[in-house]
Structure 1
């Protein structure tokens, strides 16, 4: 997909994987709408890449619809990338009692419902695009996690939310195929995002030794490079791609 003359929406675009993706898309010639719950951070990224910032909760219809309309007003919306997510840890039955149900609901709401919200609204807009020469009208890239497959202790909510994203990828791709809209999910391993900066250097180094090769934390620009590779290859569809350096998570 040639991104020159196209627009894109990136949720969670104010930091980490989302910010790197927004930068890569802008460098490729796309007009990018950066959506994030952190308005100031979204505006900073948008200013840096010549894009547009939209603030809001990804699980709410109005702000995501606004982001899509803002993008479509700039150029045909060809690409939407769902990077917004949270990862609080809690045990099913911990020292303080059972897992907080509201916390479980919040993780599902942000990670899974937020991703589906972008998928449904972006895909609906993409179906109205004129097809590219290869028949393609658009692409939605979702972000799962290798925790969808090897969830660790304390990750029930997070793993369930990411497993749901993996599960919706193929049926969504099958449904949208007749419109020329692709759906692909990336399942990242351990990446150096702002969340990692809250850990000690020793903890980060320990985590960085877990992937087999390269034995280090992934870089956000490597996630962005995968998004660009998916956009460039129309045969990638209905699949979840692990991006993890052959890492398989242990139980804890």
Structure 2
């Protein structure tokens, strides 16, 4: 699918995998809307790639619609990358046998609301906008890439909320792709492994920690680069025969219990 002259939206696009994806799509000629809460970083990236920043909280349907409408003014919306998300670690029960020590239910709901419901909300609304596009070759109107995680399959101790949210993103892939096939919109999911993003911090201690984490990767024994994930995102957007797939990009890692 040719996205030159079209518009694209990348949620969580101000940093990490989202920013790398935005750069890749812009390099293919798309006008990219950076949909994020980080205004300073988002504005800077939008200026760099000739796109537009829109402040978006993915738990707000109004914010999502605003981003879609902004993208439509730049060109037909043909690409969406759902990269916004948060992590949380807490064991399901505490050590003292008290109800109050069990996993914080509100935090569980928050992770689900952002990672899963936010992804679905953008998907359903962006696909609605895409359905109004003039069809390209083979009646194609657009493509969406959602971001899951290897935690959807190899969830570690304390990852109940995060793995639940990412497992939901994996689980929606096939049924939503089947729904959207009626209007010529494709949907795929990427499941990243350990990726070198700002979440790990900076400095010698952070580098030593990342090197230790990299030892658990099958090969190459290092953390993945955001652009290596973005390369797969670009392929899933532009390759018109990729549909309804969940693809791990993880160096072959299978996460241990902890």
- The bucket for the TM-score relative to the shorter chain is over 0.9
1:44 aligns with 2:44: yes
Q: Deviations over 1:86-133 (max 9, x none)?
A: 011111113571110111011001100110011011000000001101
Of 111, 115, 126, which residue of structure 1 is paired with 2:115?
Answer: 111
Moved more, 119-128 or 86-95: 86-95
Cα displacement (A) at 1:64: 0.9
Distance in 2 (alpha carbons) for counterparts of 1:134 and 1:211: 39
Distance in 2 (alpha carbons) for counterparts of 1:122 and 1:214: 36
Q: Deviations over 1:215-235 (max 9, x none)?
A: 110100111100111122211
Cα displacement (A) at 1:5: 1.2
| Structure 2 residue aligned with 1:22 | 22
Distance in 2 (alpha carbons) for counterparts of 1:112 and 1:25: 23
Point out where structure 2 has 5 or more consecutive residues left out of the alignment.
none
Task: Give the SS at the match of 1:119.
Answer: helix
After TM superposition, the score normalised by the length of structure 2 is 0.95
Q: Deviations over 1:46-85 (max 9, x none)?
A: 1111110011211210111111111111100000000000
| Structure 2 residue aligned with 1:238 | 244
Partners of 2:7 and 2:72 within 8 A in 1: yes
Task: Give the SS at the match of 1:149.
Answer: helix
| Structure 2 residue aligned with 1:151 | 155
| Structure 1 residue aligned with 2:233 | 227
Of 185, 191, 195, which residue of structure 1 is paired with 2:189?
Answer: 185
Task: Give the SS at the match of 1:160.
Answer: helix
Structure 1 outlier segments of 4+, above 6 Å: none
Distance in 2 (alpha carbons) for counterparts of 1:174 and 1:98: 38
Q: Deviations over 1:195-249 (max 9, x none)?
A: 1226732221111111111111010011110011112221111111000111100
1:139 aligns with 2:143: yes
Distance in 1 (alpha carbons) for counterparts of 2:125 and 2:138: 23
Distance in 2 (alpha carbons) for counterparts of 1:125 and 1:164: 23
1:210 aligns with 2:204: no
Distance in 2 (alpha carbons) for counterparts of 1:86 and 1:230: 23
Partners of 2:3 and 2:238 within 8 A in 1: no
Point out where structure 1 has 5 or more consecutive residues left out of the alignment.
none
Task: Give the SS at the match of 1:32.
Answer: strand
| Structure 2 residue aligned with 1:100 | 104
Moved more, 86-95 or 150-159: 86-95
Instruction: Work out the number of aligned pairs and report it.
Output: 252
Task: Give the SS at the match of 1:93.
Answer: coil
Distance in 1 (alpha carbons) for counterparts of 2:216 and 2:138: 41
Moved more, 85-94 or 118-127: 85-94
